[in-house]
Chains A and B, each alone.
Chain A
Amino acid sequence: MNDRSVAQRPAGTGDPGARRGVPAARPDSEAPIPPTTEAEQNAPHVRPGDRIFRGLATGSGIFIVVLIGAIGLFLLLQAIPSLALDQVSFLTSREWSTGDVNNMRYGILDLLLVTVVSSAFALVIAMPIALGIALFLTQYAPRRLARPFAYVIDLLSAVPSIIYGLWGLLVLAPVLTPIGEWLTGALGFIPLFAEGNVSIELGGTIFTAGIVLAVMILPIITAVSREVFDRTPATHVEGAIALGATKWEVVRTTVLPFGKAGYVSASMLGLGRALGETIALMIILSATNAAFGWSLFDGGATFASKIALAAPEFNDPRSAGAYIAAGLVLFVLTFVVNAIARAIVAGHKEYE
């Protein structure tokens, strides 16, 4: 937008000398700065301030790009020596013992499964509720109350995750215990609801963790969906109303088709958040040595909670490297999920 403003400006009235010689049509492009000749150095309008400022701004942009690369690189460099010491397959083993550095046996299979299952369970709960809230805030709530209501939903994301974790284990879990016992009793023949490998009474199950996670990712899914639903063209909505559609039919025929991609993208963002959630899960999930058995009433650890539990005892770089390798997998996982979320929206110009 300011491309235009720059292009319309008469030459030499404030544009720094840096861009002289670049066609006016693309003054802000990343064209290399032409080498300054002596005549240009004597020109009255060269302003070092402009050059420095532009350099700082561009440098910060480059810094962000380099930073992401550095995160991947540093984690990889620290993980490789430890991976070389691993006595079992890193990707398919369920063991995790890093105490003896001469005989480290660790694999991420269980961590991956617990992480994915708990996040997916959270997503299954959060998606319909977030959709309802986003519709409520954009279509149903009285106009004057929509903003305060949205603020209340955003407050959910302001609560620190450690408080969610303590609340989940100490307050919510006892309430969920009867529900869990009923589910394992009545629907126990389904593997998902089978008796787990940790005690239901203590509540440190994926079931509890998933519900707490769902609460934690509600605000992000709601916020992004709400923004997209708000951009539904008024003409579509008015057209539907003019045809005699009820409120729900208006939503179903205009808002939902328009916002579907945005909603899916928002859910992916929520999934990314759930995959990386650390402290709440560290507090809630009961540790267990038993393998993950595809039940919601299993315990175990996710990537993040495993790392956080061991973090205070990081002393030997070789055993720490095992956890860094797990962190690298988590980084790649969230990177992919977030990139997909972004790619979904990038194909929709109408959301801009």
Chain B
Amino acid sequence: MTTETADLNRLATPPTFQSVSGARKFKNGLATALVYLAFAVAIVPLVWVLWTVVQRGLPVVLDADWWQKSLSGLLSRQQGGGVYHAIYGTLVQGLVCGLISVPIGLFVAIYLVEYGGRSRLSKATTFMVDILTGVPSIVAALFVYTLWITTFGLGRSGFAVSLALVLLMVPVIVRTTEEMLKIVPDELREASYALGIPKWKTIVKIVIPTALSGILTGVMLALARVMGETAPVLVLAAYAPFINYNLFDGPMASLPLLMATERNNPTQAGFDRIWGAAITLVLIITLFNLLATVISRWLAPKTK
């Protein structure tokens, strides 16, 4: 009986638009929930880490001495002192590394975009830049150790650290610069050539200025990245609790090295120094990230 009525009610042809079945709706909802959850899960450690750093480090860095004094002459359990010696080391090592890396990275990118074409060397270079991106910082440090210390017989110094950081910074600069040069319209190059401008002048005066904001942004981000590297300073520099202005000689502190050293200090002073240095490092990195944003806004090509 019931089957007959059902048959009578059935349409001769299936409807054009069928509603989504329950199982499909459920799967869709589940997938959406999981995808949102994945994002939420990733936010947790970020907030947690930053909260830990701020909570433990902020009280330490609010003292003006922190920014104006070094740890010279202080015992490991003595409170007070500051880290300006380590801030100096971090900034100088990073900036010297930048001074070496930027020209190299810039020229490699120019080669890849403007000269290389599809040649074999160009492909090899692209491949090697990719490999260099993946070289662990400890391997870069060991390489500089074998080159600078064992082969040349020079001592550990801040400059050796800068050299190791160059290995880590160059591929980042090549990548960003390459992307930026690629999006410079060919019409600009052609217009310049049509005026009889040589290729190198076209690159220097037309292509690079157009891409400048993107390149500088990349440089700032790369600088922020290398300043937090710990492995090279651990291998290539000795720690000093006092200021050392000389990049080429003697022990030199930097924020990561200070943290690694004070980790062996079980007192409250050691605890404060570690987290104070951590928040200082995060602040410096944030500063460079902000600089990157400001530069990209400021120097962006005027389109009007």
Contacts and interface: CB of A to CB of B under 8 A. Distances in A.
Interface of A: 1-6, 8-9, 13-16, 28-30, 47, 49-50, 52-54, 56-65, 67-68, 70-71, 74-75, 77-78, 128-133, 135-137, 139-141, 149, 152-153, 155-164, 166-167, 171-172, 215, 218, 222, 244, 246-249, 251, 269, 272-273, 275-279, 283, 303-304, 307-308, 311-312, 314, 317, 320, 323-324, 327, 330-331, 334-335, 337-339, 342
Q: Is the interface of B mostly helix, strand, loop or mixed?
A: helix
B111 interface: yes
A4 B193 CA distance: 13
Interface of B: 17-18, 20, 24-25, 27-28, 30-32, 34-39, 41-43, 45-46, 48-50, 52-53, 104, 107-108, 110-117, 119-122, 124-125, 127-143, 145-147, 150-151, 167, 170, 174, 182, 186, 189-190, 193-204, 224-225, 227-231, 234-235, 238, 256, 259-260, 263, 274-275, 278, 281-282, 285, 289
A55 to B, nearest CB: 10
B197 A14 contact: yes
A246 B38 CA distance: 20
Nearest to A30: B119
Contacts of B136: 275-278, 304, 330-331, 334
A67 B167 contact: yes
B234 A71 contact: no
Nearest to A271: B134
B190 to A, nearest CB: 5
Q: Is the interface of A mostly helix, strand, loop or mixed?
A: helix
B254 to A, nearest CB: 11
B42 A156 contact: yes
A246 B28 contact: yes
A269 B136 CA distance: 12
Contacts of B127: 339, 342
Given A71-B143, A304-B231, A53 B38 contact: no
12 contacts: A29-B117, A65-B125, A70-B147, A71-B139, A71-B167, A132-B39, A162-B228, A162-B230, A218-B42, A249-B28, A251-B31, A312-B234
Nearest to A310: B235
Contacts of A136: 35-36, 38-39
A320 B150 CA distance: 10
